[in-house]
Structure 1
Amino acid sequence: MNLVKLSWKYLTFRPLSTGLNVLLLALGLAIITVLVLMQDQFEKKMNRDAAGIDLVVGAKGSPLQLILAGVYHIDFPTGNISMEEAQKLSGNRLVKNIIPMALGDNYQGFRIVGTNHDYPALYDAQLQDGKLWEKPFEVVLGAEVAKKIGYKKGDEFVGSHGISEGSHEHDENKFKVVGVLEPAGNVLDRLILTSVESIWFTHDDEEPEEHADATEDHSEHSGIGFQESVAAKGFPASDQARELTTLLIQYRNPMAAIQLPRLINSGTSMQAASPSFEMARLFELLGVGITLLQGLAVVIIGISGLGIFIALYTSLKERKYDLAILRAIGASRVQLVLLIFLEGIMLTFMGAALGILLGHGFLSLIISQSEQGVVSSLQPWIFLKEELWIVVYALAVGVLSSIIPALAAYQTSIAKQLTKA
């Protein structure tokens, strides 16, 4: 006797009831699948993007906003800091290295980041084509930027003011692409990198020809370390006071983690924030919303489990005569129990498979609607080992829903049922 085939026949005999139970279970499991995928990828991505950065320094304001803008480039900067204070901080004995960042422009929504060569080196970035910038207005494109806008080495473009698309363009200066980075799966993929001087000169009120000489003078300083790149001696004599947006700091020793943030926050007009601390706070806040969504998914799954139980129990009452016939032709009580359990397991397995596919499909739809930002870099069709637990959880619901109907099937009396007929 083929129990699997017989169970399938019983399920397809009531397609509407079976389909409704499968769909209800799939919706609950789809929510859990999306949460698992997003939580896993977000945490890994956030940790990867912040790797090697001990402290972020910027204008006073929200510490979380400073981290999101300076490390992940998904928020507005808190403001600018003076070059004088940045230079003083660079000489502190607790600081191993400082990476300067000047923000304020974008191209088609992708942020143009003025920095030095230490920034791509922080992520061990590799060039797919060309070289790193050497002169002002030379840029290197992240892999995702190059793919979306279709630019390659030698192409030119004009940046727009602000960090979001739709602002006025800086027509006076054109950026030239000199390199494209290899895909790395980190924040660099979504950035356009250039020298700090490029950002400064773009926002000068001078005409391009007036600082053309300055551009040449700075060509040898545009990509080198912070100490040389921002030193006052590296600027033209007529240069005005300059500003930076953020500083990414690496500690020289463990003592710096205790002393340096307090020194900056209390002794300067700047603000220091720890990426690890602020992201831990963010995940803690997000955890409340994730827990609520998980609770909603569990409720939906519970309702679907109840629906499966009702469907199996009702179906059992209607086919007790069929079960009695099966017993009469040689089926054992255990086989009848297995028949009911197989129906519950097949129902929930279909729901699990459909739910996981719906979850991945929904995440893919979300990503397709977000061309830029962290969401756009997520991978919707990566299957995690945690999803196997979703299948196990679904099958457990099927087994629990089948226990009472299976016991009823076990107690089926051949004589009683055939006498009624």
Structure 2
Amino acid sequence: MSPFRISWKNIWSKPLNAALNILLIAFGTAILTVLLLASTQIEDKLTKNSKDIDLVVGAKGSPLQLILSSIYYIDFPTGNIPMNEAKKLMRNPFVKKAVPLALGDNYNGVRIVGTDSNYISLYGLKIQEGKFWKADMEATIGANVAHAQQLKVGDTFFGGHGLTEMNDQHKDHAYKVVGILTPQQNVTDNLILTGIGSVWRMHGDEHAEDTHDHDQEREYTSLLIQYRSPMAVAMFPMMVNQTTNMQAASPAQESTRLFSLIGVGVDTLQWFALLIMLIAAVSVFVNLYNSLKERRYDLAIMRTLGASKTKLFSLIILEGLILTVIGAIIGVAFGHGILHLIGTYQESSQAKMSGLIFIKEEFYLLGAGLMIGVLAAIIPAIQAYRSNISKILAEN
């Protein structure tokens, strides 16, 4: 009989003990898997969606709220800013590119973003089908939006006031889908893009194309800004915050702050998962140690039949490895399932998690399972190696 089959039979000679050990290892591994996948995906989304944006300018309020609403579209805007004042900032020598945003509407929970052609180059958008919006009430939609809302080029739809619900629909004006974006693997996959004039028209400005008479009244929600020179990093935000009624928020700083806040909870859960893994290791050790005491005579018989000390040592180590590897594999699979279930019930498409993503760091979890198995089995294995055959047989 092969060493693996012998170890397998020894493990399941006490199924409840084996199941408990596997369950403990699986539970700890599942928590670590969920945390690892979630933190990786959050960090990836934060990086991808803000990588070419140096600053966001908007109404006074929470800088983090401004970033979340204008880049990640998972919060309410801090307010609006006068278009005339915003245009002065857009012409500032420190500014290389400024992209205006007009928010406030949705379609079945999907954000409708009013902007201009600079948004296309900012995110490197490409068309999969149709074309980019040009005239008012034309819309180019993200790939995920087209799939989830069953929209195609030529379809029309009505927007609703607000950012999450369709209680107050603007049925006087219908958007027409003129294009579908190529999947970008960023926030734009989940947006409906249109001209700023469309958003103004939806909110009562019937003369949105007139860019002169109504400038004093028109507003943007925020500006996405790219700097022209490194000097702007120190000078421009301070100028905006101190000399205007607007605020400037750095995506890099606020994203770091957000991730550090999330990290506090993540670190706590990680320590909890590691504690469970430690308990699992102790449980495996106790199980193997007690099993060894009960099987001393069987092991001595094996020695008399020709089994070497090394073979006995390897059998015990193999038992520890089998227990922990099975637990680790189940835990990783369970972790993916939990995260996918969480993602299914997430309301925000922008922050949606997926359990179908696999990362190389998960191999470290499997490696940790192997290490736990070896460490838990090493003392019982050494005892099996050093066992005195004559004494054991004489006692029995």
In the alignment, the residues of structure 2 paired with residue 253 and residue 84 of structure 1 have an alpha-carbon distance, to the nearest angstrom, of 24
What secondary structure is seen at the aligned counterpart in 2 of 1:134? Answer: coil
Given that 1:104 and 1:162 are in contact with CA atoms closer than 8 Å, whether structure 2 keeps it comes out as yes
In the alignment, the residues of structure 1 paired with residue 94 and residue 15 of structure 2 have an alpha-carbon distance, to the nearest angstrom, of 70
Aligned-residue sequence identity (percent) comes to 49
**1:93 matched residue in structure 2:** 93
What secondary structure is seen at the aligned counterpart in 2 of 1:132? Answer: coil
In the alignment, the residues of structure 2 paired with residue 343 and residue 257 of structure 1 have an alpha-carbon distance, to the nearest angstrom, of 59
The alpha-carbon deviation at position 419 of structure 1 amounts to 2.2
**1:355 matched residue in structure 2:** 331
Match 2:269 to one of 293, 299, 321: 293
What are the equivalent positions in structure 2 for 1:109-148 lying under 5 Å apart?
109-148=109-148
In the alignment, the residues of structure 2 paired with residue 391 and residue 9 of structure 1 have an alpha-carbon distance, to the nearest angstrom, of 23
Match 1:334 to one of 299, 310, 326: 310
**1:260 matched residue in structure 2:** 236
**2:319 matched residue in structure 1:** 343
Describe the superposition over 1:389-419 as per-residue Cα deviations: whole angstroms up to 9, x where unpaired.
Answer: 1111111111111122112212222222222
- Inter-CA distance 236–259: structure 2 relative to 1 (3 Å threshold): closer
What are the equivalent positions in structure 2 for 1:13-52 lying under 5 Å apart?
13-52=13-52
Letter in 2 for 1:388: F
Say yes or no: does 1:412 pair with 2:390.
no
**1:397 matched residue in structure 2:** 372
What are the equivalent positions in structure 2 for 1:10-409 lying under 5 Å apart?
10-204=10-204, 211=206, 214=207, 218=209, 234-235=210-211, 237=213, 241-370=217-346, 372-376=348-352, 378-409=353-384
In the alignment, the residues of structure 2 paired with residue 33 and residue 102 of structure 1 have an alpha-carbon distance, to the nearest angstrom, of 39
Describe the superposition over 1:46-104 as per-residue Cα deviations: whole angstroms up to 9, x where unpaired.
Answer: 11100211100000111011001011111111000011211211221111111000000
In the alignment, the residues of structure 2 paired with residue 99 and residue 21 of structure 1 have an alpha-carbon distance, to the nearest angstrom, of 56
Describe the superposition over 1:293-319 as per-residue Cα deviations: whole angstroms up to 9, x where unpaired.
Answer: 100000000111111011111111111
What secondary structure is seen at the aligned counterpart in 2 of 1:103? Answer: strand
The alpha-carbon deviation at position 153 of structure 1 amounts to 0.6
- Structure 2 residue runs without a partner (length 5+): none
The alpha-carbon deviation at position 381 of structure 1 amounts to 2.0
Letter in 2 for 1:341: I
The alpha-carbon deviation at position 166 of structure 1 amounts to 4.0
**1:221 matched residue in structure 2:** none
In the alignment, the residues of structure 2 paired with residue 255 and residue 236 of structure 1 have an alpha-carbon distance, to the nearest angstrom, of 34
Given that 2:74 and 2:351 are in contact with CA atoms closer than 8 Å, whether structure 1 keeps it comes out as no
Give the TM-score normalised by the residue count of structure 2: 0.97
Describe the superposition over 1:1-43 as per-residue Cα deviations: whole angstroms up to 9, x where unpaired.
Answer: 5211110111122222111110110110111111111111211
Describe the superposition over 1:251-282 as per-residue Cα deviations: whole angstroms up to 9, x where unpaired.
Answer: 11111111100000000000001101111111
The alpha-carbon deviation at position 155 of structure 1 amounts to 0.6
What secondary structure is seen at the aligned counterpart in 2 of 1:399? Answer: helix
In the alignment, the residues of structure 2 paired with residue 184 and residue 371 of structure 1 have an alpha-carbon distance, to the nearest angstrom, of 21
The alpha-carbon deviation at position 239 of structure 1 amounts to 6.6
In the alignment, the residues of structure 1 paired with residue 62 and residue 307 of structure 2 have an alpha-carbon distance, to the nearest angstrom, of 71
What secondary structure is seen at the aligned counterpart in 2 of 1:105? Answer: strand
In the alignment, the residues of structure 2 paired with residue 153 and residue 309 of structure 1 have an alpha-carbon distance, to the nearest angstrom, of 63
Given that 2:84 and 2:215 are in contact with CA atoms closer than 8 Å, whether structure 1 keeps it comes out as no
Tell me the C-alpha RMSD between the 2 structures: 1.4
What secondary structure is seen at the aligned counterpart in 2 of 1:299? Answer: helix
What secondary structure is seen at the aligned counterpart in 2 of 1:282? Answer: helix
- Inter-CA distance 175–325: structure 2 relative to 1 (3 Å threshold): same
The alpha-carbon deviation at position 189 of structure 1 amounts to 0.6
Given that 1:190 and 1:372 are in contact with CA atoms closer than 8 Å, whether structure 2 keeps it comes out as no
- Structure 1 residue runs without a partner (length 5+): 219-233
- Inter-CA distance 243–46: structure 2 relative to 1 (3 Å threshold): same
In the alignment, the residues of structure 1 paired with residue 344 and residue 260 of structure 2 have an alpha-carbon distance, to the nearest angstrom, of 28
Letter in 2 for 1:363: L
Given that 2:83 and 2:216 are in contact with CA atoms closer than 8 Å, whether structure 1 keeps it comes out as no
In the alignment, the residues of structure 1 paired with residue 90 and residue 294 of structure 2 have an alpha-carbon distance, to the nearest angstrom, of 81
- Inter-CA distance 158–65: structure 2 relative to 1 (3 Å threshold): same
Describe the superposition over 1:180-205 as per-residue Cα deviations: whole angstroms up to 9, x where unpaired.
Answer: 1111110001110001011111011x
Moved over 3 A (4+): 236-240
The alpha-carbon deviation at position 331 of structure 1 amounts to 0.8
Given that 1:120 and 1:188 are in contact with CA atoms closer than 8 Å, whether structure 2 keeps it comes out as no
Letter in 2 for 1:154: G
What secondary structure is seen at the aligned counterpart in 1 of 2:242? Answer: helix
What secondary structure is seen at the aligned counterpart in 2 of 1:264? Answer: helix
